[in-house]
Amino acid sequence: MNITSWNVNSLNVRLPHVLQYLQETAPDILGLQELKQTTDAVNSEALAQAGYHSAIFGQKTYNGVALLAREPLADVICGIPGFADEQARAIAATVGDVRVLNLYVPNGKAIGDFNITPADLDVHDPDAWRDKILCSAPERRALADILALGYRDAYRNLHPDTVQYSWWDYRMGGLRRNIGMRIDLTLCSDNLALHDAGIDIAPRHWERPSDHAPAWVAVKT
């Protein structure tokens, strides 16, 4: 099973990119963040025509998350039960035997799109970013606390020494100069058998791209 996470930075603008990505890569599950659309405004019909069921938790202007899957989505939960939050930043569903939680957490917070670089290896210039948002010690400790609950950073687990980023600033030729960070994470519970993980850079080169690239993990179910 291939599970992909992608901060699209406006689904209204990048729906053609999403449809192209679904056609070219055919992930089993695609989690989207930063829809910046209300639930009713999302073109679910276009997603269905592409062969995907969808669960949408939208919000105007900011936030918004969605799960798309080739198989039906069951036990969908929007938001975090017992946690009062007006922002549309979390959605969960079951696909087959796998439970998926899709999160968007803006930077500067101590929890995880995840907008946290787990280690200096994930930052183009660690010294310049030392103790700043995305790279601060409190953020990294909070992420470590989540991992300690029984989760693995799939990409780093399989590629312990590889330098690969998932986000590049639009400014200063960030992508061209590879001035980036790995802040889009796929976390897997210990009971899932990891097969592979990666980051698809190609969509970042498309016209009017998101500043994030899709991050994916393949698990054996």
pLDDT in tens, 33-43: 999 999 999 99
**64-80 per-position pLDDT tens digit:** 999 999 999 999 999 99
Q: What is the pLDDT of residue 170?
A: 94
N-terminal to C-terminal alpha carbon distance within the chain? 7
Domain ranges of the chain: 2-216
**Percent of the chain whose pLDDT exceeds 90:** 86
**134 neighbors 183 (Cβ within 8 angstroms):** yes
Give the pairing type, strands 90-95 and 98-103.
antiparallel
The sheet that has 90-95: what strands, in order across it? 74-78, 90-95, 98-103
Distance of CA 154 to the CA centre of its chain: 12
Q: What is the pLDDT of residue 112?
A: 36
pTM of the model: 0.95
Q: What is the pLDDT of residue 107?
A: 62
Quick check: 92 pLDDT over 60? yes
Q: What is the pLDDT of residue 109?
A: 46
Q: What is the pLDDT of residue 85?
A: 85
Domain at 2-216, CATH homologous superfamily: Endonuclease/exonuclease/phosphatase (3.60.10.10)
**109-137 per-position pLDDT tens digit:** 443 357 899 999 999 999 999 999 899 99
Name the one residue in this structure whose structure tokens are 């960030």.
174
Average pLDDT of 16-43?
A: 98
Rounded to whole angstroms, the Cα distance separating 91 from 182 reads 22
